[in-house]
Amino acid sequence: MRAPSPKAALLAAATGLAALTLGPAPQAAPDNYDAVERGRYLVTLGDCVACHMNPNGNHEGAQGFVGGRPIETPFGMITTPNITPDRGTGIGTWSEDEFYRAMHEGIRPGGARLYPAFPYTYFTKMTRRDVDAVYAYLNTLEPIHNPVDRNTLPFPFNIRASMLAWNGLFFEPGEFRPDPNRSPEWNRGAYIVEGPAHCGACHTPKNMLGGDRNSQHFAGGPLQGWLAASITNDQRLGLGSWSVDEIVEYLKTGRNARSAASGPMAEVVEYSTGLMTDADLRAIAVYLKEPSQEATPAAARTPVSGDDDRMKIGEAIYTDRCMACHTGTGQGVPHMFPRLAGSQIVQQEGSEGVLRVVMQGVRAAYTPHAPTSPAMPAFAWRLNDDQVAAVTTYIRNAWGNAAPAVSAGDAANMRRLLENRP
Amino acid sequence: MRRLPRKDAVIVGLGWTGAIMGHELCQAGLQVVALERGPWRDTASDFNIGTAPDELRYGIRNDLFVRPSQDCVTARNTMDQVALPIRRWGSFLPGNGVGGAGIHWNGHTWRFLPSDFNIRSHYLERYGEGIFPENHMIQDWGISYDELEPYYDKFEYLCGISGTAGNVNGQIQPGGNPFEGWRQRGYPTPPLRMQHAQNMFTKAATELGFKPFPLPSANLSQAYTNPLGVTQGPCTYCGFCERFGCANYSKSSAQTTILPVLMRHPGFEARVQCEVVRVLKSGDGKTATGVVYVDETGEEWEQPADLVILAAYQLWNVRLMLYSGIGRPYDPNSGEGVVGKNYAYQANSAVNGFFDNQLFNSWAGAGSLGITADEYNGDNFDHTGLNFVGGANINCTTFHARPISARPIPPGTPRWGSAWKKATRDNYLTTQNIGSQGSNMSYRDCYLDLDPTYKDRLGRPLLRMTFDFKPNEERMSAYVTSKMEPIMRAMGAKQIVSNPKKGPWSVVPYQTTHNTGGAIMGDNPRTSAVNKYLQVWDMPNVFVMGASAFPQNAGYNPTGTVGALTYHAADAITKQYLKNPGQPLVQA
């Protein structure tokens, strides 16, 4: 005799309950199969699960959309909503028009204004057809009852009406308009990057009120205790020296000969870019090499002199602690240990990214194409602030790199940040 | 005891063989659970570069190994002695946790010689019955080198082994081992970069007529991405391999070659800190129905499964079979029975050379950084009149000079005090050794059974080991060691100290963790426990992986052959057995 599987029994009970209390689940009608499949892919392009998935990390099926994950913004924590078609706690009662209005104008049913942590400022570029497809797809999900406390922002940012004024300053609704002088591939890339993939949400610096600084389009900046790297065409700080193929490989596998996606970008690769079609990745890369707005080029920078004590100490620490993987010339090991020489991550103006990686350690993205997911160990427990400052100053200014020196105070700030927010 | 939902296959132990088998079975569409009694181990968290090279923790206090309180064996040299429990591991160090012995190995990755597999018929034909030692139980393996070649290849390409081929499809290659069996292609990566000692050895040995070649290494010379898509980094020659996990992703192990893919496989599940107590059998005793295991809280679970894979270390596979009543236990008095039979070990020797004016810098090494000469291994040389069977490979390695244990001092040095300190200083950088990895034949009175007295923490009898080195092995070791001395002399050592293997075997000093036999393979259920697919003759839904299948031990490290046999078995299970489950793959 064989006992029933506890998991199977639990699942049966749960589905039974759902059927009893909620009535028939909304299902995709057979005639909108194409729209649903388009929507499924658009949800991948938009990396929706990265924010809306279950905070316990489950992103299988509808669990990828149940909400509740806290998203850190400069103004406080915002908890993401449930976007499964649950009628009580999700978007089950929303009409197609209401969903489009939320995506296009940042206004939800009833007129309340959404915060731009939900990147409607990018989704507004999406076509009505694509937004309807997302709606169709979300409505095929299992409705999951999951009430989320949405009001977690402190005063005055908790007043949603304030977004009216914000929108007046920083938001212009309007669908993407293709540039007839550019190739279809470039236009496809522009649409994805500026629309559903909302790359600028992290990679374009924000002003004090959280609006995009358009003059610094894709120039990167601090983000959630990390650093979103520049993805401009700058040779030193951006993707200027990356080929289209290298960008495609990075977005597809999380790895290329230069670098490895980690931190928040690892999630982007795992949930979004790693699942995109090769044609779309190529389109993104083509667009990033010639974006519609070019950021002001970064000023040339003189490296910290090799005679500087911080460089000498840094080199000694590097030799002991870092060289085994990253090699003596900072070349790293392709697809395994990132190259530091010429690395734009290492040379960003802000040191948050490199400090975080050195002090907290980090694990590279997993993708089926690059499953190894190697890790950089944490060094905060074995290097003091002066030593961290020296070694990061060294890697930012050795082998032809050039970036501002890192101070012990910078390291101390990162140490505090990591203690408060592990 | 609570009963869990059935799985297609349960794997006992998640080391090399468990991981290989898990991956192959999952790829075939099976739902698989692996039960590992030790902890989860992962390069990023457990072999952090900041803590991995800790000699006291790992090299001396044996952090990666089974705790004697968790499990051990009793040992004796002869059948008339009373065996006593090993209370501190010495002679060998069984692994523990995910990755198993594949975590703490040095990475020597050999293929056995073609004549190792048909050793009995080969020696019989060449020398006649008189060559065999008294009371020997030497048997053919029931499989040929040619049958295993594709699976050796598969394992080497999984690992990215660094080496120089000696025989590609019958063509002898310069710089490789001219004695090796044919291989279908060269090694996946070039050999490691040799140290001063290897260069000296190569020169000396070549002048003496040897054909030295790089030891095939699982410490990789360069980055390598295997067919599963998993990438390893290049070895940094830090010298923390044996007894340690590799922090640089450069030593092949389940962690660095399979687990990143396997752990994400929807068909696979691993449960750690779960010790399998016994295999369950059907009422008629002809089929295994699953296993019983105890989790870390002490709770007992029944895991039903259609297929049971024993993939624990050699010793524990044999103990599980004996305790669960799988196969007929071996009786040394009658010579009948098969489980526990033909326990063998390895007869190693060393020649230490103390030099005046050479700096070997042995701290810059790798587990498998070495040069080998194979002239006196297996039957590569004429045994006529030598009065022994077998042989040994001759290795000049630089694998570590860790500060606590690497204290090369000449005989006669005081064991403590200022003279000892001075000798340490004088010899630390200027000593080099040549070692031999010797075969060990099987004998009627070298075997494993259940101890009549001592029990483990779960109340099961401990495994009892009855073993000694026999005159055949002593003669072999003396002979091969005598061939090593001239090389050391030619290298210019001012003082040479030879240590050929001599009995009696002692459990105290570390010798090697190459324990073999006890569930041996063969072509006849009367004389072997498993067939050539490692399938238990008497219980076709149980397969037993690992070196427990070796009918006797060859003059090489076992892992390459263990990997090849596992892939060979996996291939047979997925391509033949699953079409007709429950049936023997070889008719007795």
Mapping DSSP onto H, E and C, the string for chain A reads CCCCCHHHHHHHHHHHHHHHHHCCCCCCCHHHHHHHHHHHHHHHHCCHHHHHCCCCCCCCHHHHHCCCCEEEECCEEEECCCCCCCCCCCCCCCCHHHHHHHHHHCECCCCCECCCCCCHHHHCCCCHHHHHHHHHHHCCCCCCCCCCCCCCCCCCCCCCCHHHHHHHHHCCCCCCCCCCCCCHHHHHHHHHHHCCCCCHHHHCCECCCCCECHHHCCCCEEECCEEECCCCCCCCCCCCCCCHHHHHHHHHHCECCCCECECHHHHHHHHCHHHCCHHHHHHHHHHHHCCCCCCCCCCCCCCCCCCCHHHHHHHHHHHHHCHHHHCCCCCCECCCECCCCCCHHHHCCCCHHHHHHHHHCEEECCECCECCCCEECCCCCCCCHHHHHHHHHHHHHCCCCCCCCCCHHHHHHHHHHHHHCC
- A301 located within any domain: no
Q: Cβ distance B347 to B440 under 8 Å?
A: yes
Q: What is the SS3 assignment for B206?
A: helix
A334, A373, A375: residue with CB nearest B223 = A334
Q: Is the pLDDT of residue A193 over 60?
A: yes
Contact A324 B264 (CB under 8 A): no
- Three-point CA angle B181, B158, B176, nearest 5°: 35
Q: What is the pLDDT averaged over residues B359-381?
A: 97
Residues 304-323 of B with CB under 8 A from A: 304
Among the ranges given (A151-165, A192-206, A240-254, B566-580), the one the predictor scored with the smallest mean pLDDT: A151-165
pLDDT of residue A13: 36
CA atoms within 13 A on the CB side of A262: 25
Pairing outcome for strands A226-228 and A221-223? antiparallel
Run of H or E residues at B231: strand B231-232
Domain end (from A170, A201, A222):
A170
A285/A203 same-domain check: yes
Per DSSP, which regions of B273-398 are E strands? 275-281, 288-294, 300-310, 341-344, 349-354, 370-373, 392-397
Q: What is the pLDDT averaged over residues B403-416?
A: 92
Contact A372 B49 (CB under 8 A): no
A119/A164 same-domain check: yes
Contact A372 B223 (CB under 8 A): no
B44, B225, B236: residue with CB nearest A324 = B236
Range of the domain at A363: 309-420
Residues 6+ apart with CB under 8 A from A142: A18, A25, A61, A62, A84
A414/A327 same-domain check: yes
B3, B50, B234: residue with CB nearest A377 = B50
Q: Cβ distance B338 to B530 under 8 Å?
A: no
A385/A318 same-domain check: yes
A190/A166 same-domain check: no
A252/A283 same-domain check: yes
- A123 located within any domain: yes
* Confidence at B488, pLDDT banded by 50, 70, 90: very high
> What predicted TM-score, i.e. pTM, was given to this entire model?
0.92
Q: Mean pLDDT of all residues in chain A?
A: 87
Contact B260 A377 (CB under 8 A): no
- Three-point CA angle A15, A80, A147, nearest 5°: 45
Q: What is the pLDDT averaged over residues B2-24?
A: 98
**Residue B221 touches partner A, C-beta closer than 8 Å:** no
Tell me the count of A-B CB pairs closer than 8 A: 73
Contact A7 B5 (CB under 8 A): yes
Q: Is the pLDDT of residue A12 over 60?
A: no
Q: Is the pLDDT of residue A2 over 60?
A: no
* Confidence at B188, pLDDT banded by 50, 70, 90: very high
A189/A135 same-domain check: no
Which has more pLDDT, B578 or A69?
A: B578
Q: What is the pLDDT averaged over residues B242-271?
A: 97
Catalytic residues of B: 514
Contact A2 B304 (CB under 8 A): yes
Q: Cβ distance B226 to A336 under 8 Å?
A: no
Residues of chain B in contact with residue A371, where contact means CB-CB under 8 angstroms, are: 228-230, 260-261, 264
Which of B307, B308, B303 has the alpha carbon at shortest distance from B1? B303
For the record, the structure tokens of B101 come out as: 């012995």
A329 phi, psi to nearest 5 deg: -100, 10
Q: Is A181 exposed, middle or buried (0-12, 13-18, 19+ CB in 10 A)?
A: exposed
**Residue B233 touches partner A, C-beta closer than 8 Å:** yes
Distance between CA atoms of B420 and B426, rounded to whole angstroms? 10
Q: What is the pLDDT averaged over residues B345-350?
A: 98
For the record, the structure tokens of A299 come out as: 């000023």
Interface test with chain B among A5, A270, A372, A382, by most B beta carbons within 10 Å = A372
Q: Is the pLDDT of residue A327 over 60?
A: yes
Cis amide bond preceding B504, omega within 30:
yes
Residues of chain A in contact with residue B50, where contact means CB-CB under 8 angstroms, are: 377-379, 381-382
**DSSP 8-state class, residue B272:** E
Query: Helices A184-194 & A278-289, crossing angle to 10 degrees?
Result: 90
- A338 located within any domain: yes
Q: Is the pLDDT of residue B580 over 60?
A: yes
**Residue B229 touches partner A, C-beta closer than 8 Å:** yes
**Residue A337 touches partner B, C-beta closer than 8 Å:** yes
pLDDT of residue A6: 39
| Tokens 């059935």 -> residue | B6
Tell me the per-residue pLDDT of A226-272, one tens digit each, with 9 for 90 and over.
889 999 999 889 999 999 999 999 999 999 989 999 888 999 999 99
CA-nearest residue to B236 within chain A is A324
Q: Is the pLDDT of residue B136 over 60?
A: yes
Query: Helices A385-397 & A352-360, crossing angle to 10 degrees?
Result: 120
**Residue B283 touches partner A, C-beta closer than 8 Å:** no
Q: Is the pLDDT of residue B44 over 50?
A: yes
* Confidence at A150, pLDDT banded by 50, 70, 90: confident
Interface test with chain B among A318, A333, A366, by most B beta carbons within 10 Å = A333
A331/A398 same-domain check: yes
Contact B223 A335 (CB under 8 A): yes
Domain end (from A170, A195, A230):
A170
Q: Is the pLDDT of residue A9 over 50?
A: no
Contact B228 A371 (CB under 8 A): yes
Total count of domains within chain A = 3
- A333 located within any domain: yes
Contact B231 A375 (CB under 8 A): no
Name all domains of chain B by residue range, CATH numbers in brackets.
2-579 (3.50.50.60)
Distance between CA atoms of B436 and B550, rounded to whole angstroms? 20
> For the stretch B350-375, what's the b/e string if a residue is b when 16 or more beta carbons lie within 10 angstroms of its beta carbon?
bbbbbbeebebebbbbbbbbbbbbbb
- A39 located within any domain: yes
Pairing outcome for strands B431-438 and B392-397? antiparallel
Which of B340, B326, B343 has the alpha carbon at shortest distance from B537? B326
* Confidence at A113, pLDDT banded by 50, 70, 90: confident
Query: CB under 8 Å, gap of 24 or more: what pairs does B285-290 form?
Result: B285/B325, B286/B538, B286/B539, B287/B539, B287/B540, B287/B541, B287/B582, B288/B326, B288/B539, B288/B541, B288/B542, B290/B6, B290/B10
Tell me the shortest Cα–Cα distance from B269 to chain A, in angstroms. 14
Which has more pLDDT, A59 or A298?
A: A59
**DSSP 8-state class, residue B578:** G
The secondary structure of B392-424, three-state, reads EEEEEECCCCCCCCCCCCCCCCCCCCHHHHHHH
pLDDT of residue B457: 93
A342/A409 same-domain check: yes
Q: What is the SS3 assignment for B171?
A: strand
pLDDT of residue A213: 77
Q: Is the pLDDT of residue A24 over 70?
A: no
Residues 6+ apart with CB under 8 A from B310: B12, B13, B279, B317, B320, B321, B519, B542, B543, B544, B545, B546
- A162 located within any domain: yes
Distance between CA atoms of A125 and A42, rounded to whole angstroms? 13
A160/A189 same-domain check: no
Contact B223 A375 (CB under 8 A): no
pLDDT of residue A29: 52
Residues 44-73 of B with CB under 8 A from A: 44-45, 48-50
- A131 located within any domain: yes
**Residue A363 touches partner B, C-beta closer than 8 Å:** yes
* Confidence at A422, pLDDT banded by 50, 70, 90: low
Residues of chain A in contact with residue B223, where contact means CB-CB under 8 angstroms, are: 333-336
- A153 located within any domain: yes
A111/A214 same-domain check: no
Which has more pLDDT, B453 or A18?
A: B453
Q: Is A261 exposed, middle or buried (0-12, 13-18, 19+ CB in 10 A)?
A: buried
Tell me the per-residue pLDDT of A363-377, one tens digit each, with 9 for 90 and over.
999 999 999 999 999
Query: Helices B559-575 & B145-159, crossing angle to 10 degrees?
Result: 100
Q: Cβ distance A331 to A373 under 8 Å?
A: no
**Residue B430 touches partner A, C-beta closer than 8 Å:** no
Distance between CA atoms of B477 and B499, rounded to whole angstroms? 9
pLDDT of residue B50: 86
Tell me the shortest Cα–Cα distance from B60 to chain A, in angstroms. 23
* Confidence at A31, pLDDT banded by 50, 70, 90: low
**Residue B43 touches partner A, C-beta closer than 8 Å:** yes
pLDDT of residue A11: 36
A61/A126 same-domain check: yes
Distance between CA atoms of B10 and B18, rounded to whole angstroms? 10
Q: What is the SS3 assignment for B9?
A: strand
